[in-house]
Amino acid sequence: MSVSTQAPEAPTTPGTETGTPATGVAVPGTAAPPAGRAYAVGRAADVPPGEGRAFVAGDVQVAVFRLRDGALHATQAACPHAGGPLADGQTDADVLVCPLHLYAYRWSDGSSPGGAGPLRRYPVREVDGVLVVDV
Amino acid sequence: MTAVLGGRPEGLTSISLDDDLDPRARLVVVGNGMAGARFVEEVLERGGGEQFRITVFGDEPHGNYNRIMLSPVLAGEAHEDEIVLNSHDWYADNGVILRAGVRVERLDTAAKLVHAADGTATPYDHLVLATGSYSFIPPMTGVRREDGDLLPGVYGFRTIDETREMLAATSRCRKAVVMGGGLLGLEAARALQGHGMQVELVHAMPHLMNAQLDAEAGAILKRSVESLGIGVHLDSLASEVLGSEHVEGVLLQDGRRLDCDLLVVAAGVRPHTDVAVRSGLEVERGVVVDDQLRTDDPDVYAIGECAQHRGSVYGLVAPAWEHATVLADVLTGTDPTAEYLGSRTATKLKVAGVDVATMGVNTPERDDDEFLVISEPRRGVHMSVVIRDDRLVGATLLGDTRKVAFLTQAFDRGSPLPEERIRLLVDLTDGKEEVGVADMPADSQVCNCNGVTKGAICGAVADGCGSVGAVMDRTRAGKGCGSCKPLVKQVVEWAADGDVAEDPAASYYVPGIPLAKPALVAAIREQDLRSVSAVFAALAPGGAEEARSKMGLTSLLKMVWGVDFVPEKDGEFINDRVHANIQRDGTFSVVPQIKGGVTTPAQLKKIAEVAEKYEVPMVKITGGQRLDLLGVRKEDLPAVWDDLGMPSGYAYGKSFRTVKTCVGSDFCRFGLGDSTQLGIDLETRFQGIESPAKMKLAVVGCPRNCAEAYVKDVGVVAIGNGRWEVYVGGAAGASVRKGDLLATVDSPEAVLELTGRFLQYYRENANWLERTYDFVPRVGLEHIRRVLLEDSEGVVADLDAGMQASIDAYRDPWGQDAGEPATPGQFRSSLPLVPLPQVPVR
């Protein structure tokens, strides 16, 4: 799969200083992602290993996580249980844990052993240092 | 003796207004006692001063005073000045005309005039009778002189003047007889005895306090009273009062003679209805009123003890005040439809040194009333409850009133009662299991934090969860504050019918690594593991990281390694990652350090400025005596800290948080030690120290315990002569536990040393998230004492050194991360776009 280089060369890192909402940029002409459109949401370097950060893809809030083994995951940003900020959650290779009430969600299928959810997941990949999320 | 209580120094002044020029309606209150004066207060509170010209008639020359407090005055425990409720000045200041010392003879309800004994006739538009009660003097030969006055030395116990005279008499009299074994009689007997008099109590009924107590409780009270040295004569009537010039004794009906030079008659009260009777109003036991306190004359009302409402006459202050509220609502038009529907009477007091609380009925009245009694005569304890149709309709507590709050609530609100009725009166076992597990309905909530019902837990067991841990993972029960864990365990065991797998993870320090704490610490040291990821790689099965274990490991590693710990942001909970407490809308709360609760105007200004600048939606004083800025946006955190310029108060961490203090000896007149300084010293020394769970401390300057030190992880109490008690393992959160006295030491330095030793021992040995209130009983106070005070394990030097290493490693996290984020996007908003439901802010 190739991605057009129409993604901005130096995507802004919104929200860091100003707190303004991120503005995702559509990446047209990509080899049809399975669902929706592809958005370059930010720099890969913005997501440190083991942590998550929130971005906006179009009008969708997404949380992007980089696990310690390098794997990338993207999910809806708000916890399906009570709207908690999932990007602030803790991760391991199997689950993401929401910081508000500690509901866990499996990366594999978005299901929660605690009965919440399911959690919506989005395809995410890194292209030339840019995070691309399909929503 | 003749001083006017609450009087004006320069004597009475009266306000006179030209009636014709005053458009206000004339409101006249007859009676200046607890009910009448309270009613005037209620009217004024409703702006009635603009509606009404208010005149109050009082029999006594005094202002309004608290009649309930006469017993403490008689006992010498209160000065009469302390019982003044409304002085003469108060009436003048509020534009109320007080006709103190003027007795009202009758009302002319046709002409709407009040005729007083001084010959005046005062017109009214609305009239309120609040004439109260008088002491009932039973018919006894010789009790009155020919002129109708009581024989000298004989007193009722109703007014401040009677109280003053009795007080004066105590210095020249030696023997007292008190007639009446109700509340007032008992209080009088105890008070007189306190003045060194020999006191005999004569009561006409078979047991004491017969209006409130049943026979058994009365018998127990009798023993308690007798043990004070007061003679009690039950079922006894005095037929004659002896003495011609002054009382010399009483003759009982059975022929016995009791000598005395002081006779107090406290044989009950009768409503003062003379004025109403003479005015032609309907009077039965009291002045008959309807639900709006109106008599049969539409402009005359009656409140307090003189009123009879739906057949009941009350001799307590609470109903009188309810009357006052309702009538003020009605007359001022605040709520013209307000109604009084009767009072449920409950009293709680100390009678002759014994705690007594009663409410409702004291014995079963119907065949199907449930009646539960616990009687321990030897201990002076008697408790009973009467239950009708699953509602509490009465309770009596004598000698042990610990359950009074719960019972009062159940009585007042009709809240549901426990299936096991005995729990109404005593806390069984550990107090955690409220009802039997088998009896709990399926929809009853077990875990309140996460809303997990008994049914959900049983469902998880039925679905194959074979251990408590598995059920907790599945249902999230017990994963909030954790206080329900024992109950969760019981429900699981019940649902599995005993077939519960031993949960090996129960003994692990964190679930992801199969080692108990001592073994884990040993492995970390041996293998020189300094980061969370290194611990997982070396010790976890398959080297797999486990999200829920990270925070506990981070805490442990910080304790073990101090400055040599290798931090990893993903090993921390979000609170520690951004050094603030996450709130339910994804914002954070920021609490600057305020050591010992002591702040400065400059600090307060700074906090206020920051709160305004960052539009903080709520500024709140925390339970730990600090200021909480709630609703700070994550991206604003570094700038907020920077502008504050104060260190972090660690209000978010599993760590040492704060030391509550009282004002101590600087300003407090009771302070025995400088608790404020010691609190500041403790907070300075132990700031930011990680621990298995939060650590909250308090220091108080005397055992009055204003800063609640008895219920803290470590509580320090000054007891005088430079000595301090150190309590450990207290709690006043989801669990309530009074701390155990670890030791009494004789200097602030010793407190600091012992506190450090205890905290370090707790840090090294407690399970993750185990508060001291679980840790201390689990390990055992005696064991902790031996280890910390006698060095039975030879670890004290290591404990001191370990704590010192952590203290030396302290750095203010705000100072570090405000300047330069620890990771990219550390303070990036986590919910950037869609506005979330905000926490409602007052």
Give residue-wise pLDDT tens across range B16-30: 445 557 788 999 999
- Rounded Cα distance, B770 and B695, in Å: 11
Where helices occur in B28-77 by DSSP H, the ranges are 34-45, 48-51, 70-75
CA atoms within 13 A on the CB side of B5: 26
pLDDT tens digits for range B466-476: 788 888 878 87
Q: Is B571 on the interface with A (CB under 8 A)?
A: yes
Per-residue confidence (pLDDT) for residue B333, from 0 to 100:
92
Lowest mean pLDDT among A20-29, B109-118, B362-371, B439-448: A20-29
Please determine, for residue A5, whether its predicted confidence score (pLDDT) is greater than 60: no
pLDDT of residue A34: 47
Distances (CA, A) of B420 to B181, B298, B309, B423, B428: 35, 51, 36, 6, 10
Mean per-residue pLDDT for B178-200? Answer: 91
CB burial of residue B265 (10 Å; 0-12, 13-18, 19+)? buried
The per-residue pLDDT for B405 is: 67
B570 touches chain A (CB under 8 A): yes
Distance from CA of B749 to the nearest CA of A (A): 40
| B545 interfacial to chain A (CB closer than 8 Å) | yes
Contact B582 A16 (CB under 8 A): no
Q: What is the pLDDT of residues B822-834, one digit of tens each?
A: 888 899 888 875 5
B831 contacts A90? CB cut-off 8 A:
no
Quick one: which of B582, B655, B650 has its CA closest to B812?
B650
pLDDT digits (tens, 9 = 90+) for A67-85: 999 999 999 999 988 889 9
A15, B832: Cβ pair inside 8 Å? yes
Model pLDDT for residues B688-725, shown as the tens digit of each residue:
999 999 999 999 999 889 999 999 999 999 998 899 99
Residue B547 has its nearest CB partner, among A21, A54, A91, at: A91
- Residue B756, classed as helix, strand or coil, is helix
Section B647-653 average pLDDT = 94
pLDDT at B586 over 60: yes
pLDDT for A6 equals 38
Task: Name the closest residue on chain A to residue B823, using Cα atoms.
Answer: A48
- The predicted structure's pLDDT at residue A102: 86
At residue B328, what is the residue type? A
A residues 12-71 closer than 8 Å to B (CB): 13-19, 21-22, 45-56, 59-61, 63, 68
pLDDT band for position B640 (50/70/90)?
very high
pLDDT tens-digit map of B228-263: 889 999 999 899 999 989 999 999 988 899 999 999
Sign (positive or negative) of CA dihedral B532, B538, B543, B546: negative
- Tell whether B531 lies on the interface with A, counting CB pairs under 8 A: no
Task: Quote the pLDDT of residue A26.
Answer: 43
Which residue's structure tokens are 């409503």?
B271
CA proximity to B406, closest of B387, B427, B433, B435: B427
List the strands of the sheet with B300-302, edge to edge: B97-100, B52-58, B25-30, B126-129, B300-302
Categorize the per-residue pLDDT at B196 as very low, low, confident or very high, splitting at 50, 70 and 90: confident
- Is A97–B548 a contact, with Cβ atoms under 8 angstroms apart? yes
pLDDT of B497 above 50: yes
pLDDT confidence of residue B427: 67
Residues of A in contact with B827 (CB under 8 A): 16
Residue in B with minimal Cα distance to A45: B824
pLDDT at B20: 59
Cβ pair A85:B831 closer than 8 A: yes
Q: Is the pLDDT of residue B40 over 90?
A: yes
| Residue B147 pLDDT | 86
Q: How confident is the model at residue B348 (pLDDT cuts 50, 70, 90)?
A: low
Residue B801: its pLDDT value, please?
95
Q: Which residues contact B281 (CB under 8 A, 6 or more apart)?
A: B107, B109, B287, B288, B295, B296, B297, B300, B302
**DSSP letter, residue A101:** T
Nearest residue to B537 via CA among B528, B108, B186: B528
Which one of B547, B825, B828 has the shortest CB-CB distance to A95?
B547
Mean pLDDT check: name the lowest of B208-222, B323-337, B661-675: B208-222
| Digit-coded pLDDT (tens) for B734-778 | 778 999 999 999 999 999 999 999 999 999 999 998 999 999 999
- Model confidence, pTM: 0.53
Closest alpha carbon within chain B to A116:
B475
The predicted-structure confidence for B261-295, as pLDDT tens digits, reads as follows: 999 999 888 999 999 999 999 999 999 999 999 99
| Cα separation, A98 vs B380, whole angstroms | 55
Mean of the pLDDT values across residues B49-76?
Answer: 89
pLDDT score at A35: 52
pLDDT value at position B436? Answer: 58
- Yes or no: say if A45 and A18 are a contact pair by the CB < 8 Å rule: no
* Distance from C-alpha of B623 to C-alpha of B659, rounded to nearest angstrom: 11
Closest CA to B536 of A48, A92, A88, A104: A92
Question: Would the pLDDT of B433 be above 50?
Answer: no
The number of beta carbons lying within 10 Å of the beta carbon of residue B623 is: 13
Residue type, B733: G
Note the pLDDT of residue B482: 61
Q: What gap in Å lies between CA B258 and CA B280, rounded to an integer? A: 43
**Closest Cβ–Cβ partner in B479, B480, B573 for A90:** B573
pLDDT of residue B13: 43
Instruction: Please give the mean pLDDT across all residues of chain B.
Output: 88
Provide the pLDDT confidence category of residue B68 given band limits of 50, 70 and 90.
confident
Return the DSSP state at B434.
-
Residue B834 Cα, gap to closest chain A Cα (Å): 7
